[in-house]
Each structure stands twice: as structure tokens, then as C-alpha cells.
Amino acid sequence: MEERGKKRGTVVKHTGSHYLVSPVPLWEPTECVVRGRLRLKGSKTTNPISVGDIVEYIPGSESGDKGVIISIEPRKNYIIRKSANLSRESHIIASNIDTAYLVTTIDFPEVKPAFIDRFLVTCEAYRVPVKIVLNKRDLISGESEDKLEYFKDIYTKAGYEIIETSVKTGLNIDKIKNECMNRVSLFSGQSGVGKSSLISAMDPELVLKTADISDYHLQGKHTTTFYEMHPLSSGGFIIDTPGIRGFGLVEMGKEELSHYFPEMLRLYEECRFTPCTHTHEPGCRIKEAVERGEISPERYFSYIGMLEEEEKYR
């Protein structure tokens, strides 16, 4: 039977069991709850509905009743990670993303390649286009310049675009702002990398909380509490995410993990045997590429670490 007053919208905020839904591109958020039976579909994620999901909903009444989400459309893509406290469960960060911007820094806080590689692998696995934003460029000097160039060499060879930014000097702020026009863009990164300040610099009308780096730990304090979508005054939408300290991979087969490293995938068919885990097999083209410097040892060791981690939890 057709539901009366049904609308189609996008989930723009998730706080516990409550959601804000807006008929994007119009910005008219309304508070909604989930129809009970939607929670009973055997989802292994802690959040069966995520920011970015396109849903059908019945708006609330003028008397103050909340709206009700009655169905969810299939996702074109999403970013997912293992839940922080529940290793066997996963959490969807956001869905239906046009581009993910992974914000990091060389120092203050120090770059964490393991985190970066896990995030990139997840984007590759779930079909999310991703770019790396190297923020706080104005703080880089001396030895940090060498670290910057080394980092750029690793990830540009892997096939990723790197955008250097600085909120203080305005470096490439307009570039990213223009890329985000009329698109849904996700900004994520570890705590303290300046993600919220970067978004605020792109659109001063957005009021996002920021906090200083802890001088003692050189790690950021969590400022964004919930996953949330914001409208840009120039057009388009940004999904801001809480600062993430760790990024656990959702189960991936050991034979498929290397497919999510673009530099390995390009050479995969040149291995003598398939499937190949690129660990002990003879005639492995990937191991040969590492020895020749065609693939960075750091990325290969990161891959091995993920492989061992997946084996541990099987």
C-alpha cells in the first residue's frame, strides 16, 4: 500500500537513534527515527543507516511528532571500518560519496602511514574516489621538507593525487572548494590534522568546532562528535567526520587485499601464479617490483601488516 506523504531525502546527520533527513539539494532538515523493522535485517554494522544514505521517509507532523524513515535505497559506495570497541562489528562512516579527501599532516601531528593505507584500501574496496590532502604546509621546513618529498614520492607513485594546503596562507583552499561544488565530498583524517579548520576556511559560513593540538601528545582532541553533512554556500555538500585514531579493515580475503593497492594491481597479472599473496610464491612480480624500487617498501610492508592482521582475526 502506498504511504501517504512519503518523501525522498538524504540522511545529513546521525546522532544515536535519531537522524536528520533533508530533500537534497534543498536544505530542509527534519528529525526522523527508523521504522522498527528496518533494524531487523541482520545488518552486521552498528549503524544500518549512515550519513549520505538516500531514504524514503514520512515527515513528522506539525504537532511535533518525528518523521519516520521507511526504506533505504541501494548505496553506490560507502566507507566502512571496524568498530572501535567491537572488533567483530563494523561501522559505516558515510555513503554515496563523490570524492573522499583524506586529510593528513607531516608533523603536528606526525603522519601515520598505517592509518593512511588502511583508509585508502577501504576507499578502493568500496569504490570511493579518494585524494590525499597534506595540510599545514606552512609548518613544514628543514627536515620536514625531506619527509614531505618522501611521502609525496610514495603516494604519487601509487597513483594518488596529493593536494598541499594551508589554512594560514590559503594554499589550495580555493582549489578544493571548486572541486567540491555541486558534489558530495567527505573529509576525514586523524585527530588534530586541521580538518575542521580546513572546511571552515573553504566556507566561513560553516561553524565547525576546532581545538588545539595537545602539546604533550601532539595528537588532536576530538572536536566533531557526530558524522554530519553540511551545505556549502558555493554549492555542494561536505560530510565532516569525527577525528579517527584507528582504522580497522573490514574482512577482506588474503587473495584480494593486494587488488586495493593500485600499484600492485597494475602488476598482478604478471605474477607467475594466480592467485598470489605476494609473500612466499616464486616468480612474484610484486616482490620483484619492491626490490627494484618500483613499489615502495613502506607500502609493501603496510600490505603485509594488513595481511597478518586479517589472518589473526580469522
SS3 225: coil
Concatenate the DSSP letters of all residues of 205-218 into one string.
T------PPPTTT-
Q: Distances from the Cα of 38 to the Cαs of 47, 49, 60, 146, in angstroms? A: 11, 9, 18, 52
The one-character DSSP state at 45 is B
SS3 68: strand
What pLDDT score was predicted for residue 314? 46
Length of the chain: 314
For residue 302, name the pLDDT band (cuts at 50, 70, 90): very high
What pLDDT score was predicted for residue 48? 85
Can you tell me the distance from the alpha carbon of 293 to that of 313, in angstroms, rounded to the nearest whole number? 31
Domains of the chain from N-terminus onward: 7-72 (2.40.50.140), 93-240 (3.40.50.300), 257-312 (1.10.40.50)
Mean pLDDT within 187-200: 92
What pLDDT score was predicted for residue 157? 95
Q: 249 or 10: which carries more pLDDT confidence? A: 10
Q: Distances from the Cα of 74 to the Cαs of 26, 77, 88, 239, 303, in angstroms? A: 21, 9, 23, 19, 30
Q: Does residue 24 register a pLDDT over 50?
A: yes
Enclosing H/E stretch for 224: none
Q: Does residue 155 register a pLDDT over 70?
A: yes
Q: 45 or 166: which carries more pLDDT confidence? A: 166
Neighbours of 228 (CB within 10 A): 19
For residue 267, name the pLDDT band (cuts at 50, 70, 90): very high
For the stretch 158-185, pLDDT in tens is 999 999 999 999 999 999 999 999 999 9
The per-residue b/e assignment along 105-139, b for 16 or more CB within 10 angstroms, e otherwise, is bbebbebbbebbbbbbbbbbbbebebbbbbbbbee
For residue 27, name the pLDDT band (cuts at 50, 70, 90): very high
For residue 15, name the pLDDT band (cuts at 50, 70, 90): confident
Q: Which residues contact 89 (CB under 8 A, 6 or more apart)?
A: 44, 45, 46, 82, 83
Q: Are strands 54-58 and 7-15 parallel, antiparallel or unpaired?
A: antiparallel
For the stretch 204-257, pLDDT in tens is 988 765 444 444 344 444 444 578 999 999 999 999 887 766 677 887 888 899
Mean pLDDT within 292-296: 96
Can you tell me the distance from the alpha carbon of 9 to that of 134, in angstroms, rounded to the nearest whole number? 33
Report how far Cα 21 is from the mean position of its chain's Cα atoms: 21
For residue 3, name the pLDDT band (cuts at 50, 70, 90): low
For the stretch 46-94, pLDDT in tens is 788 999 999 999 998 777 789 999 999 999 999 998 865 545 678 899 9
Enclosing H/E stretch for 258: none
What pLDDT score was predicted for residue 43? 62
Query: CA angle, 262 as apex, 292 and 283 as ends, to 5°?
Result: 45
What pLDDT score was predicted for residue 4? 66
Q: 291 or 82: which carries more pLDDT confidence? A: 291
- Per the CB < 8 A criterion, the answer to whether 85 and 78 are in contact is no
Mean pLDDT within 33-56: 78
Can you tell me the distance from the alpha carbon of 93 to that of 288, in angstroms, rounded to the nearest whole number? 36
pTM higher than 0.85 for the full model? yes
Can you tell me the distance from the alpha carbon of 230 to that of 172, in angstroms, rounded to the nearest whole number? 20
